[in-house]
Amino acid sequence: MTRTYPSLLQGLDDDARRSLIAQSRPRRFRARDIVCHEGDPGDSLHVIVSGKLAVRVTTPLGQVVTLSLLGPGDSFGELALLDSASLRTATVVAIEEAHTLMLTGAQLDGLRRQHPRVDAYITETLTSYVRRLSTMVLEALYLPVEDRVIRRLAHLARLYAIDNGSAEIRLTQDDLASMAGTTRATANKVLQELAGRGLLTLRRGRISVPDRFALDRAVR
């Protein structure tokens, strides 16, 4: 299994990559397992090896919404580890069986001292995260809701891509709606329209996309 790890850490040189893998602890989560809760101490960094994990928060009204979906190569927990007083800002739950590499704060500090490239890797990861958040804020402010739903759907299709160019998105319409910042009814209306154009098929608990490249072309 170790042979599959390097592609997940492309920003690191060989020595730093080997050190990170050697010091990390492999973790396995079953579907619906909670990796961490919102408000927990930020005591570990996870790099996702396989599977999908959802990032969810609770609104002031008590609703649980999905902010994003993470897949192989993604990581979470960097910001919490860099601030010893920081708490988890979201709950992370496994959507399907998932495997991660986990590092504690002490392990990460040691790697940063030994391998400067690890520091740069974390900075680049956080920069990418801030960039994604900024894009989501701009979309929420200026894009029509229909376009937001299609963009989130196209992103999910890439995460759930199959070799033949299709995708099987194993998320509920509620998850998609919360990721697009809208209601389930609105998301369903957009999905029905896309289904009418032959771009997807709606099934119980999943959305089948026969050609994710055609869906990409529908993004405005």
Give the tens place of pLDDT for each residue, 96-106: 999 999 998 88
pLDDT computed for residue 80 by the predictor: 67
The first and second tokens of residue 196, run together, are 């009418």
Res 139 pLDDT > 90: no
Question: pLDDT by residue (tens digit) across 144-189?
Answer: 999 999 999 999 999 999 988 999 999 889 889 989 989 999 999 9
The secondary element (H helix, E strand) that includes residue 207 is: strand 206-209
Confidence of residue 129 (pLDDT cuts 50, 70, 90): confident
Q: How confident is the model at residue 220 (pLDDT cuts 50, 70, 90)?
A: confident
- Between 214 and 61, name the one with better pLDDT: 214
User: Residue 10, class by beta-carbon neighbours within 10 Å (0-12 exposed, 13-18 middle, 19+ buried)?
Assistant: exposed
Once rounded to an integer, what is the mean pLDDT over residues 58-78?
Answer: 87
Q: What pLDDT is stored for residue 84 in this prediction?
A: 67
The single-letter code of the amino acid at 218 is A
> Would you place residue 14 in the very low, low, confident or very high pLDDT band (cuts 50, 70, 90)?
confident
CA 132 to chain centre: 11
pTM: 0.83
Structure tokens at 95: 């959507």
The pLDDT of residue 1 is: 41
Strand partners, 103: 45
Could you tell me the strand order of the sheet in which 44-50 lies? 25-29, 98-104, 44-50, 75-76
Do 51 and 29 contact (CB within 8 A), yes or no? yes
What integer pLDDT is reported at residue 2 of this predicted model?
A: 42
Spatial neighbors of 46 by CB under 8 A, at least 6 apart, are: 27, 35, 75, 76, 77, 92, 100, 101, 102
Given the structure tokens 């040691």, which residue do they identify? 110
Indicate whether 3 pLDDT > 80. no
Find out whether 118 and 20 touch, Cβ atoms under 8 Å: yes
Higher confidence at residue 109 or residue 9? 109
The letter for the amino acid at 206 is R
Would you state the pLDDT for residue 4?
52
Mean pLDDT of 66-91: 84
Q: What pLDDT does 31 receive? A: 94
What's the sign of the alpha-carbon dihedral 216, 183, 208, 201? Answer: negative
Q: What's the chain's average pLDDT? A: 88
Q: Render pLDDT for 27-45 as a digit per residue (tens, 0 to 9).
A: 999 999 999 999 998 888 9
Please check the confidence at residue 8 and state whether its pLDDT lies above 70: no
